[in-house]
Structure 1
């Protein structure tokens, strides 16, 4: 189950054969996001387990899940943008059911991220799932 926004990223990746181009595309996705307000960069929104600084701010309105986020690392900011395309707009009850690993594998990210980045990505996914389960 993937959102149309995530399917668009999958399609973009199919056209980008070189991993440098794909990496750049992920970074560009992050650059296109609005920065998270500094007032939201607090301990409650910080994701632990990431090598860089990461904040995720969930917003649940009318049982629909979305989140904003930010990082001090460009590639991680891009990964946040990819996760937003995967989860934003889903009913909150559907968020924990998303096979994030399977969906992200379609992009081949697992093979091209460092162990630290992969751990950080898993920590972000876990935080998203926890928030959704608490509010389902």
Structure 2
């Protein structure tokens, strides 16, 4: 079943092809973020990984799919097959789109149990991103992680 982010309601959603497994480039970029030695390199890598995600068709950039709590506009869709959860997301901000890609690398195609036990703070600490993001971006990425967890819990 396909759902959009806002209130877990059924809306017109992208077809199943939007929810394909992530490109290996996403995992490679996340590794590059982890290995970057300074914030400027990490920031550049975050923006680059966002370019790997396919853009969401304008038709699906609707209010019902918006993640509330993000300063930038971000849209999130969910598809579940058996106990695996798949996501399709986009943002109007390059840095937020990169943060979405990082989150999806950790949650896309995972089980409900894996997603609900996902620790965003520990994950970002592991990548060297803790304390590096502005409070508004931290709130936004937390809202995205919470929306992903909410989908996995239903």
Q: Report the TM range for the smaller structure's normalisation.
A: 0.7 to 0.9
Write the distance in 1 (CA, Å) between the matches of 2:95 and 2:33.
16
Q: State the superposition RMSD in angstroms.
A: 2.0
- Tell me if 1:27 matches 2:47: yes
Gaps of 5+ in 1: none
Q: CA deviation at 1:106?
A: 0.8
TM-score (norm 2): 0.77
Write the distance in 2 (CA, Å) between the matches of 1:61 and 1:116.
33
Q: CA deviation at 1:103?
A: 1.1
Superposed counterparts of 1:42-53, under 5 Å: 42-53=62-73
Superposed counterparts of 1:26-105, under 5 Å: 26-105=46-125
Q: Between Structure 1 and Structure 2, how many residues are aligned?
A: 131
Write the distance in 2 (CA, Å) between the matches of 1:12 and 1:78.
13
- Tell me if 1:125 matches 2:149: no
Q: Deviations over 1:92-132 (max 9, x none)?
A: 33211111221111112221100000010111111111111
Write the distance in 2 (CA, Å) between the matches of 1:41 and 1:117.
20
Cα separation, partners in 2 of 1:7 and 1:104, compared to 1, 3 Å: farther
Q: Do the aligned partners of 2:26 and 2:49 also contact (CA within 8 Å) in 1?
A: no
Gaps of 5+ in 2: 1-23
Superposed counterparts of 1:9-28, under 5 Å: 9=29, 11-28=31-48
Write the distance in 1 (CA, Å) between the matches of 2:58 and 2:65.
11
- Tell me if 1:107 matches 2:127: yes
